[in-house]
Amino acid sequence: MARKPAKNQPAYLYSDQFQRFDYGPEHPMRVQRLAMTHELIAMLGLPAPERPFSPASFDELMLYHDRRYLETLQELSAQPETTGYIAFGLGPGDNPAFPGVYDWSALLAGATLAAARLVSQEGAPAAFNMAGGMHHALAARAAGFCYINDAVLAIRRLVSQGKRVAYVDLDAHHGDGVQWAFYESDQVLTISLHQHPATLFPGTGFLEEMGRDQGRGYAVNLPLWPDTDDDVYTSAFDQVVPPLLQAFQPDYVVSQFGVDTFLDDPLANLNLTTRGFGHAARRLKELAWGRWIVLGGGGYHLVNVARAWALLWAILLGQEDSLPVELPDDFVLRHMLRMDESHLLDDDTQLRGRHWHRAQRDAAEAVEHIQKNHFPIVGAKLA
């Protein structure tokens, strides 16, 4: 019999149904990473009773997405085509029309909407949907491996109830889809820490993107130069994120924990480890506990994803101290980890790359810009 989750414990949203879907053998977005994370959590002895949820309905998806776009996704789910849907961002490349693409998107969106409900209506202090965080999807266009923007759906639902929401995006790629959805609103504060847009998709997230009209000042971007490491990252995070959240006083916080910030991720060029990642997670827990919707995101080195999200779940549970230093032997053997891959749950070394000095300088300048231009509008104060 499954253990009934305690009301004061974070909620865990996961389904074996995720593994029904596949972007294709050559695609970097591997759904397998979700099962690996779930497996590692179990091997570590962390309690993770799965909360039931249903796929998002068509009407729920229309909280943000265009009807014709959704109908096209439905058609392609049943009969995938390789050409003819470029206007919707669908086709060969980043956003393939694979079998079940609509069902996949509705399922992960349903988990995020359930996470928002569990926190806002059922008393869970936090809820974790590792399959969520599809932050690039636009209202009528797929982008960056993302078809349905589950974060926007959850935020829109909360805003429709008169709530103020802060969105904090830690993915290496700019959280563009969420930013644009609320670019003119002062009810949603979006904060994105990401690799500099001059060096990485989607090419947005410059300091100058600050919001428009009532939303001016409420879109915050902290671009980071390649080779940003834990020390540079945590310093910038601490100077920007806590003061803004404390000043904005959101009713709910939605955070996206992409793991493509790690130093050996194949698609990005930042140099974080679990040390920097864990620091951000702990600070957000301090700031958002009791009103926290936690989503996954990017990450294309499968073992890094499993290590980071298992650590994140342990932080949510308050059970970090129970974790072993190294990954379980069964996990290492089953997934044939190489000797040059980290076998640690909490890394104790980091790489200072050749662009580190520029990364340090650029981060300091970005922090100064945010403190000068955003803090007065939001009401944040310097420490």
DSSP string for 317-360 = HT-GGGS-SB--HHHHHHTT--TTS--BSS-------TTHHHHH
Report whether 274 contacts 347 (CB < 8 A). yes
- Please report the pLDDT score of residue 82 as a whole number: 63
> Residues 67-70: contacts with CB within 8 Å, 24+ apart?
68/140, 69/139, 69/140, 69/141, 70/102
Q: What is the CATH number of the domain that holds 246?
A: 3.40.800.20
Residue 190 lies in a domain: yes
Instruction: Tell me how many domains the chain contains.
Output: 1
Q: Can you read off the two tokens belonging to residue 222?
A: 């902290």
Per-position b or e across 14-29, b if 16+ CB within 10 A of its CB = bbeebeebbbeeebeb
Q: Report d(CA 43, CA 129) in Å as an integer.
A: 19
* pLDDT score recorded for residue 1: 35
**Rounded Cα–Cα distance for residues 34 and 29 (Å):** 11
Q: Active-site residue 136, yes or no?
A: yes
What's the pLDDT tens digit per position in 245-278? Answer: 999 999 999 999 999 999 999 999 999 999 999 9
What local confidence, expressed as pLDDT, does residue 344 receive?
81
User: In Å, what is the CA distance from 29 to each residue of 48, 131, 174, 300, 332?
Assistant: 24, 11, 17, 6, 21
Residue type for 103, please?
A: D
Does 320 fall in a domain? yes
User: Is there a domain that residue 383 lies in?
Assistant: no
CA proximity to 302, closest of 39, 101, 106, 100: 39
Strand order in the sheet with 11-13: 11-13, 126-129, 292-295, 252-256, 165-169, 188-195, 219-224
pLDDT of residue 6: 58
Whole-number pLDDT of residue 314 = 98
Q: Which two tokens stand for residue 147?
A: 């078809």
Give the residue numbers spanning the domain of 59.
11-378
Size of the chain, expressed as the number of residues it contains: 383
Q: Does a structural domain hold residue 2?
A: no
* pLDDT confidence of residue 172: 98
**DSSP codes, 73-99:** HHHHHHS--SSS-GGGT-SSSSS---T
How many whole angstroms separate alpha carbon 153 and alpha carbon 137?
11
Give the containing element (helix H, strand E) for 128: strand 126-129
Q: pTM (2 decimals)?
A: 0.96
State the Cα–Cα distance between residues 225 and 207, nearest whole angstrom.
13
Residue 357 forms part of a structural domain: yes
Residue 343 is predicted with a pLDDT of 77
Q: Give CA 114 to chain center in angstroms.
A: 16
Query: Has residue 1 been placed in a domain?
Result: no
3 within some domain: no
Residues 6+ apart with CB under 8 A from 268: 172, 173, 195, 200, 260, 261, 298
220, β-bridge pairs: 191
Other CB atoms within 10 A of residue 245 CB:
22
Residue among 135, 136, 174, 301 flagged as catalytic: 136
274 occurs within a structural domain: yes
114: enclosing H helix or E strand: helix 101-120
In angstroms, what CA-CA distances link 211 with 45, 130, 141, 206, 239? Answer: 44, 28, 21, 11, 20
Which residues of the chain fall short of a pLDDT of 50?
A: 1-3
